[in-house]
Structure 1
Amino acid sequence: MRFVEDPVISISPITPEEFERFRRLLQEHAGIALLPEKRVMVASRLAKRLNFYGLDNYGAYFRLATDPEHPDEFQILVNALTTNETYFFREPSHFEFLRDKMLPAWPTQPLRIWSAACSSGEEAYSLAMVLADKGRNRAWEVLGSDLSTRVLEVARAGIYPLDRIEQLERRLMEKYCLKGVRSQAGHFRVNAELRERVKFEQINLTQPLPGHLGKFDAIFLRNVLIYFDPDTKKRVVENLLPALQPHGYFVVSHSESLHSVTQRLQTVVPSIYRLS
């Protein structure tokens, strides 16, 4: 096997059978259902890995990435095929609900919130900004988790391009972020004080949760269920509910609903539920 740095070989187009292997693998490992029209996307995202190993077909790369001798490559494959589109204060009404409804009514114990598919961390840090700004010096904790190790590295660094801040108030930007200069111009970084209060961890939501997680007062699972089939949606939600405190909040995106997924959550407002 040879390693190359530049594209010097011709890669055969991905076949329907090869795409089906990747599709089935991602479904079994992460619960994500890839539609047939994603075949071009899969081929494009994996082409660099084929070039890296000097492979000319996707079947050979599938065999390599699923070989137990290459566990790191399997994670790279998962990283490449998972979608990670996000930005600060996406769907702002959820953060307004946290600020105006949840926080004023919360008891005095430490508040724990889980951003259960945090991607590169923007949602987790948005939650942290609300808690730090309006939490009245109360103890709080935010956990961000994702399946992709690549986006978790970005989240831990807390460095983002300035085009991610369209919904971020200037006041919060100035209070909790530092603008980059010279080589970091066009970027900003979440300040160290806030980064220290947000933890990130790799968690597969389709599998039993790690026992150390404990209970959370609110779980944000937004823009994730749309990628799952009905059975996987139910399995993921049932996996997460034991980690939710009694009467805790469960938040999904405005394009998602839990009405056919579980009967254990009651609607507070559209897309925001509470454990009964």
Structure 2
Amino acid sequence: MADALKMPTLGDSEFRQLQKMMAEASGIQLADNKRPLVAGRLMKRLRHYRLGSFREYLQLIEQPQYRQEKRLVVDLLTTNETYFFREHPHFDFLGQWAARQRGSLRLWSAACSSGEEPYSIAMVLSEHAATKDWSITGSDLSLSVLKKAQDGIYDLAQAKYFPEGWLQRYCLSGIGDMSGRFRVQAALRERLTLREVNLVQPLAEDLGPFDAIFLRNVLIYFDGDEKKRILQRVIGQLRPGGLLFIGHAESIHGLQLPVRLVQPSVYECL
């Protein structure tokens, strides 16, 4: 009975194999201290296939017929914490900037996860943009979170950082089986185009150009060389004078990029 309840252990060799796989697939370097998180997120997949070890699971996902399962591993290990209006000074600045712009605006949420960031952007533009001609592209490596972003349905607890009155203005509250949840209104969902993008790979020619790009809380997962390559690709999608937003905990100091700082973690493309 004790053996039946024993939890599989993610050994050194299996974890190194996962580190290599993630680096090749996404460019993300899984730190050694992420081993418990990795084991926890993959455990339910072992249970799904009724496997007794991580070694068996890794052998399974290397088989051609399990390509989608291997992709699911990348999804599970690249899902990041996100919420509406995260790092709110960025959205204050965005509103002030959008109120001064004339002509059409295109914005890119380059690691949009399950949609909280691009929908936050959409609400700010609806509220403050001088133009009605604006659109947002949201992208992510994970297909599962892109599906959530497309649906635009969230638990009501995720609305706690909304500006006053914006939940009622831009979202629909659920009833019946959807009680305790809300959905971003269709008028905003229609402004958002979602697509799969791997930032460590060359970007599609039809992606840009953009007037502002949010690349927040992504760079912390990459070493200096890869970080610079990603930034060069992303900044290449910005129009001159366009804005780049990075996370407040991130730095691009010393990377010699064609941008200038305009306020903490916000840069203008030269």
Residue in 2 that maps onto 1:236? 230
Q: By how many angstroms is 1:197 displaced?
A: 0.9
SS in 2 for 1:69: helix
Q: Deviations over 1:211-233 (max 9, x none)?
A: 22120001100111111111221
Residue in 1 that maps onto 2:121? 127
User: Where does 1:56-75 land on structure 2 (aligned, <5 Å)?
Assistant: 56-75=52-71
CA gap 1:135/1:105 in 2 versus in 1, 3 angstroms:
closer
Residue in 2 that maps onto 1:220? 214
Q: Is the 8 A contact 1:237 1:262 kept in 2?
A: no
Q: Deviations over 1:16-64 (max 9, x none)?
A: 1100110111122112121111111111111111122222221221222
Compute the RMSD of aligned alpha carbons. 1.5
Q: Deviations over 1:163-193 (max 9, x none)?
A: 1122211321111101111211111100111
Counterpart of 2:49 (choices 28, 47, 53) is 53
Instruction: Return structure 1 stretches of 4+ with deviation > 6 angstroms.
Output: none
User: Where does 1:1-276 land on structure 2 (aligned, <5 Å)?
Assistant: 12-100=8-96, 102-108=97-103, 110-276=104-270
Q: By how many angstroms is 1:10 displaced?
A: 5.4
Q: Could you tell me how far apart the structure 2 residues matched to 1:218 and 1:132 are?
A: 16
> TM-score, normalising length from structure 1?
0.92
Q: Could you tell me how far apart the structure 2 residues matched to 1:211 and 1:137 are?
A: 26
Q: By how many angstroms is 1:11 displaced?
A: 5.1
CA gap 1:24/1:41 in 2 versus in 1, 3 angstroms:
same
Identity of aligned residues (%): 44
Unaligned runs of 5+ in 1: 1-7
Q: Is the 8 A contact 2:210 2:237 kept in 1?
A: yes
Q: Could you tell me how far apart the structure 1 residues matched to 2:206 and 2:5 are?
A: 47
Q: By how many angstroms is 1:9 displaced?
A: 7.8
SS in 2 for 1:260: coil
Q: Could you tell me how far apart the structure 2 residues matched to 1:207 and 1:124 are?
A: 22
Q: Could you tell me how far apart the structure 2 residues matched to 1:85 and 1:41 are?
A: 13
Q: Deviations over 1:87-140 (max 9, x none)?
A: 11111111111111x2133232x1000000011100000000111122245200
Q: Is the 8 A contact 2:118 2:192 kept in 1?
A: yes
Q: Could you tell me how far apart the structure 1 residues matched to 2:265 and 2:39 are?
A: 34
